[in-house]
Amino acid sequence: MRKSLFPAIFSVVALLFFTTAAHASPRDDVIEATSRLASASSYAIHIHAPQSGMAGAIEMHYVAPDRYRMMIPGAPAQVIIGNQMYMDMGGRTMRMPLPAGTLDQMQDQSRIREAQQNARIESLGSDVVDGKPASKYRIVHADQPDAEVTLWIGADGWPMQMHVDGKDGAATMRYSRFNDPTLDIQAPD
């Protein structure tokens, strides 16, 4: 289960890049938030996916251009730098190559723009997340009609929360620490 969870979480996170403050249209709002996130130097995501069987929230940190740290309850931390993944297994660091192109798919801007243009995006009005005002959007991608994404964008234009509901279950992600210089991801020794 845990082996297959890592790619699944990355797929869910990639949905934000395909989807994601009020402007001319809901699509414009989502595209602006997507662009803002894509240009961030760093951010953190707290992921709650009850169907995963995890005892708590998964935490993921990102530092541009290609560094990720994922902390999964009850499992060793996973660090990705470029196309290498590192895990601490009983005091020893394991290093494994990722399949070619794993991260490239998440960062392919032409694919992201195409997905945004083909998605059905609608405003669900105003809402509040953690006591802060947000604009709420529903996004359904043409290539994933059975998955519905709900995205909350803060007044500052940053994504605050995303909920994905699909055939494999549901996950809620909370975003924070945009452009935080204290987020640092290094390869384990």
pLDDT digits (tens, 9 = 90+) for 59-112: 999 999 999 999 988 888 899 999 899 998 888 899 999 888 777 766 666 776
For the chain, the maximum distance between any two Cα atoms, rounded to a whole number of angstroms, is: 53
Contact 117, 28 (CB under 8 A): no
Prediction pTM value: 0.81
pLDDT digits (tens, 9 = 90+) for 98-147: 888 777 766 666 776 677 778 999 999 999 999 999 999 999 988 888 89
For residue 19, pLDDT over 50 is answered with: no
What residues make up the domain containing 26? 2-118+168-176
Please report the beta strands in 90-166, taking only residues with DSSP state E, as ranges in sequence order: 92-97, 120-129, 132-141, 144-154, 159-166
- Judge whether 128 lies within some domain: no
- Judge whether 154 lies within some domain: no
- Judge whether 47 lies within some domain: yes
CA distances from 109 to 36, 46, 55, 113 (A): 13, 24, 35, 6
Contact 186, 175 (CB under 8 A): no
Q: Which residues pair with 86 in a beta bridge?
A: 79, 95
Domain count, the chain: 1
- Tokens 């994933």 correspond to 144
pLDDT digits (tens, 9 = 90+) for 27-62: 999 989 988 988 999 999 999 988 766 667 899 999
Phi, psi of 169 (to 5 degrees): 120, -165
How many CA atoms does the CB half-sphere of 68 hold within 13 Å?
23
For residue 163, pLDDT over 80 is answered with: yes
Q: How far apart are CA 129 and CA 150, in angstroms?
A: 13
